[in-house]
Every structure is written in C-alpha cells, then in structure tokens.
Chain A
C-alpha cells in the first residue's frame, strides 16, 4: 500500500511569516496525527483527528497553529506567524483502527521547517 505522503519536504521561512504543511494519509485510515519533532527530541503530538473531527489538540499552540481535515482524508497544518522555536520536523502519521495493524501508526517522511 502507498505510504503517508507529506509536502513540502523542506521549507525555509523568516520569523513572522506563515507556512502550511500538507498530509495525505494511507487510504482508509481514519485516524491522523501531526507531530512536532525538535532536533534532539522525540516526536511530540500536536493534534489527532478521527475522520474529520479533532480527538486531542491539547498540545497544539492554538494562538499560532491550526489544523484541519475537512473531508476526513487530507490534512493541513498551518503556522501563523512562525517563531524561531518552531524550527522542527513536522511528522504526519495515520492509523487503521481495524485489523492486525490496529496498534501501529504509519509515519510520513516529514517536513523540515527552518525559521530564520
């Protein structure tokens, strides 16, 4: 099966600019996650969707970050305005709630964001 797709792969912006990331999960996967991975740290969950509804966004900095999954498939994560500390790799993952892969999250390649 095709994996989780993300774009762009790299993005360089200046602080106070806006940026958006796109994720296409594995076909049929109802659950979608966005993680932020700062250099030297493990991934940190930002937001979790079940179909087009938000399950958990407790760690999303809502003053500047937003995410949507309007049709329950693709998702976008936006940062507006960006700060220097937002420099990180943004990972998207998806999960199928059925079958043998019930407990496995499948990750995309990530988007590396550099804020100057």
Chain B
C-alpha cells in the first residue's frame, strides 16, 4: 500500500537545538516527496520538495531510498518554526498527494 508515516504527532525542542521531523514512505515506484507546513492561523503551504534539493528557512530534507525516508532537518531551531508539518508523497504525474498525519513542532524559548 502507498502511504506516508510520520511517527511523531508532537515534537518539542528548545530554541537553538537541532530539529529532525521523521517521514517514512511506502511506494513501489520512483518517489516524489514534499514537506508542507501550516503556521498558526495560516494556510497549508509548500516548504520544500526533494527534487529541488533546496534549503528553505534553514530546513533540508534528503530522500533515502534505502531506508524509504525523507526526514526534515534544521540545525538550529527558531521560535518561528513552531507549526504543523506534513510529509506528502506524489502518487502520479497528475500530482495525487498522499499526506502523513502530521507532526506538531513546538520550539520552546
């Protein structure tokens, strides 16, 4: 079955500490993965996509096909990173996305 698993519903770290939000996927084809973020009282928005290999707001994510993972990392957390983070898998060219259940990240001062 094609699915995305985010094992942590809640994650709390202190400002300045490293952050890692875990995402594992199950997919028989060549995966295309995304991280979406929803800040408080804002819309769901794209944070980054694996094909771009970009760093957005200090976040990076590397696709590991051997471990079927796409973990989101940031070396030094900031308070404004507090948000809901969703990992998503594209099932096909028409961009049919399957989302994980999300991880609520809280950065403590």
Contacts and interface: CB of A to CB of B under 8 A. Distances in A.
Interface residues of A, number: 23
A89 to B, nearest CB: 10
A56 B94 contact: yes
B94 A43 contact: no
Interface in B4-21: 4, 9
A24 interface: no
Interface string B35-78: 00000000111100101000000000000000000000000000
Contact of B99 (A40, A42, A103): A42
Interface string A88-105: 000100010000000111
A50 interface: yes
Contacts of B94: 31, 48, 50, 55-56
Most chain B beta carbons < 10 A, residue from A3, A95, A105: A105
Interface string A54-74: 011000000000000000000
Given A42-B86, A42-B102, A107 B95 contact: no
Given A105-B46, A109-B43, A48 B86 contact: no
Interface string A39-50: 011111100101
Contact of A43 (B34, B45, B46, B99): B99
A44 B46 contact: no
Most chain B beta carbons < 10 A, residue from A44, A48, A95, A107: A107
Interface of A: 3-4, 31, 40-45, 48, 50, 55-56, 91, 95, 103-110
Interface of B: 4, 9, 32, 34, 43-46, 49, 51, 86, 88, 90, 94-102
Given A103-B32, A104-B46, 7 more contacts: A40-B101, A42-B100, A45-B98, A48-B94, A55-B94, A103-B90, A107-B45
